């Protein structure tokens, strides 16, 4: 844009690592390797396999070297992010499929491996889970490394700039994030990415402000453009004026003060001003995230997703393999509880397993509890593993996507069978383990009074509840505006579920994104929610919100909202309430 461009040109992305930075832009396009395609002879196969194995070994060593550098720089817990990369380079399913393709198609191994890896990436990218979608980035990163070794190419690029700068790129891999010069890099902006991407996690660990999800930004900027990055709000300001710089200098000081305040309350109780205790739990995807639960001051785990154990394997994980993962979660959470959700995925993502059928519309098909009930052997293996893990801590089991009483009862019949089997085998488990169900289908909320008589708790998955209630795919950019958590229909369904829980003396939580939206927390408490489960990094600020509120004002807010028909006005009323109680948090 140069110096003649207008000042204060604002781009809005997604802030994923807090902080404010100003510097020159360094625009870095990721170059895609040109993959040569050539036919080979059968006699060439052993040589191709040898090259492949050498490249895998070299890639593994490269990743271990990076992991060691991270551990030295910012600690072993952050270095564990690269465990996922190492799993990719050692994944026999991926490797064996490439070797089969080599023998079948008789093309060079670079081309075959790239084709196989791309198929895996497409599969992950299609899953309706931002975290799992981001795992495709891991595979892409490892694939590039393997292919570079096969082609004899070296990595370069990001170390070229020798002045303070903000990296602007289409995609930043975790290893890119680690290897940047922290003395010169003030922040980074990417066209792709999400809050759960490994690069975002690394940026937060390194203390580097970051914005993602700004498509097209690489084409709009040139090297040397002056830019100001707001990692709190996701704003990117090109050619900031002197007035804007001064304003942001004051904002930065206020934000630092708030961060210090949040650090100071991490170990305090999440009680309202009038003494009501609200349980604050953490959502996690992988056992490697367990350290962040305690660090954030969470009271255990409100949602442990088990899907990672099942993806991209030739066969379903064994009972012992699952038991080891669940036991680790139970032990690390003690003395707090851990809610383990049973498999919540569609058969389209498990098509490589026996007896799985592809469906034209998997999101409205045989997924989650439906798939488990159609695959009782698969389901019972998981139930047995969860039961066994309950002997090692306060484990709670939760069923996803329950839509009717019959599904809940059928699941509990299989659970009882597992209990009897384990007793007969002399295996230990907690016979009083709490059983709950997610409320994420409108039908479940409408019959919550019936469901509540047969479970110990509810947990509202607001992401899916909004999608299914309003028939809106939140990933479809054309209709993003219709995805409205403050829609009266959604609020009424939450209220119905909370009312049913209270009347039947069970507790109810929220584990969807609404729980982490600090302006909506008062509304959720007013509707009768007892527990909030959010990303571990959000626990301190949600705790501060809870500590700033009184239950009576939350109930009054919920009552006012209940009579309002306009989602936008409900949203604004909630924000106005938040501005009165904790204005300093709304800037974070």
DSSP 8-state secondary structure symbol assigned to residue 156: -
The verdict on whether 333 is a catalytic residue reads no
Structure tokens at 4: 């003649």
DSSP state string for 195-207: TTSHHHHHHHHHT
User: 């991270």: which residue's tokens?
Assistant: 70
542 burial level (CB within 10 Å; 0-12, 13-18, 19+): buried
CA–CA gap between residue 211 and residue 204 (Å, rounded):
11
114, 165, 198, 392: the catalytic one is 198
CA–CA gap between residue 531 and residue 408 (Å, rounded):
22
What b-and-e string marks burial along 483-511, b requiring 16 or more CB atoms within 10 Å of the CB?
A: bbbbbbebbebbbbbbbbbeebebbbbbb
CA–CA gap between residue 464 and residue 441 (Å, rounded):
7
DSSP 8-state secondary structure symbol assigned to residue 296: T
The verdict on whether 511 is a catalytic residue reads yes
Task: List the end-to-end C-alpha distance of the chain, in Å, as a whole number.
Answer: 29
Structure tokens at 305: 């997703």
121, 366, 372, 511: the catalytic one is 511
DSSP 8-state secondary structure symbol assigned to residue 191: S
Q: Is the dihedral of CA 303, 78, 68, 191 positive or negative?
A: positive
Residue 276: Cβ within 10 Å count: 15
CA–CA gap between residue 218 and residue 211 (Å, rounded):
13
The stretches of 362-519 forming alpha helices (DSSP H) are 369-374, 376-389, 405-425, 442-446, 448-451, 462-470, 488-503
CA–CA gap between residue 66 and residue 45 (Å, rounded):
31
Catalytic residue annotation: 198, 511
């Amino acid at each position: 844009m140069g110096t003649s461009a207008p000042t204060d040109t604002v781009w809005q992305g997604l802030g994923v690592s807090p902080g404010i930075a100003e510097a020159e832009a360094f625009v870095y396009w990721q170059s895609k390797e040109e993959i040569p395609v050539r036919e080979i002879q059968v006699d060439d196969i052993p040589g191709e396999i040898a090259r492949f194995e050498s490249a895998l070994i070299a890639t593994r060593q490269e990743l271990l070297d990076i992991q060691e550098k991270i551990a030295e720089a910012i600690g072993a817990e952050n270095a564990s992010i690269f465990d996922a990369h190492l799993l990719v380079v050692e994944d026999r399913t991926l490797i064996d499929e490439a070797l089969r393709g080599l023998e079948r198609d008789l093309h060079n191994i670079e081309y075959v491996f790239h084709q196989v890896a791309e198929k895996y990436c497409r599969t992950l990218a299609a899953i309706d889970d931002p975290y799992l979608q981001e795992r495709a980035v891991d595979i892409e990163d490892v694939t590039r490394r393997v292919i570079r070794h096969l082609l004899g190419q070296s990595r370069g690029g990001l170390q070229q700039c020798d002045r303070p700068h903000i990296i602007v790129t289409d995609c930043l891999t975790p290893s890119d994030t680690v290897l940047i010069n922290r003395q010169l890099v003030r922040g980074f902006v990417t066209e792709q990415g999400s809050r759960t991407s490994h690069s975002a996690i690394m940026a937060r660990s390194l203390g580097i402000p970051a914005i993602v999800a700004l498509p097209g930004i690489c084409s709009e900027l040139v090297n040397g453009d002056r830019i100001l990055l707001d990692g709190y709000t996701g704003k990117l300001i090109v050619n900031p004026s002197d007035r804007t710089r001064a304003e942001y200098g004051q904002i930065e000081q206020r934000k630092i003060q708030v961060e210090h305040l949040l650090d100071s309350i991490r170990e305090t109780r999440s009680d309202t001003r009038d003494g009501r205790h609200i349980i604050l739990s953490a959502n996690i995807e992988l056992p490697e995230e367990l350290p962040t639960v305690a660090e954030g001051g969470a009271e255990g785990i409100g949602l442990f997703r088990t899907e990672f154990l099942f993806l991209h394997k030739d066969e379903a994980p064994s009972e012992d393999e699952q038991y080891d993962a669940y036991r680790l979660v139970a032990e690390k959470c003690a003395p707090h509880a851990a809610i383990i959700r049973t498999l919540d995925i569609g058969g389209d993502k498990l098509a490589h397993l026996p007896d799985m059928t592809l469906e034209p519309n998997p999101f409205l098909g045989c997924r989650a509890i439906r798939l488990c009930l159609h695959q009782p052997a698969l389901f019972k293996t998981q139930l047995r593993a969860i039961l066994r893990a309950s002997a090692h801590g306060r484990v709670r089991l939760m069923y996803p996507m329950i839509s009717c009483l019959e599904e809940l009862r059928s699941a509990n019949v299989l659970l009882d069978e597992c209990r009897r089997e384990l007793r007969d085998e002399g295996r230990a488990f907690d016979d009083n383990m709490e059983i709950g169900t997610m409320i994420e289908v409108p039908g479940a909320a409408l019959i919550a009074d019936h469901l509540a008589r047969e479970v110990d708790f509810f947990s509202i998955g607001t992401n899916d509840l909004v999608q299914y209630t309003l028939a809106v795919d939140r990933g479809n950019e054309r209709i993003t505006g219709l995805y409205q958590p403050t829609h009266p229909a959604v609020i009424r369904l939450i209220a119905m579920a909370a009312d049913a829980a209270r009347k039947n003396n069970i507790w109810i939580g929220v584990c969807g994104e609404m729980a982490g939206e600090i302006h909506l927390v008062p509304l959720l408490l007013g509707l009768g929610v007892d527990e909030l489960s959010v990303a571990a990094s959000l626990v301190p600020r949600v705790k501060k919100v809870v500590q700033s509120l009184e239950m009576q004002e939350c109930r009054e807010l919920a009552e006012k909202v209940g009579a309002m028909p306009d989602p936008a006005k409900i949203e604004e009323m909630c924000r106005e309430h938040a501005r009165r109680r904790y204005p300093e948090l709304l800037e974070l």
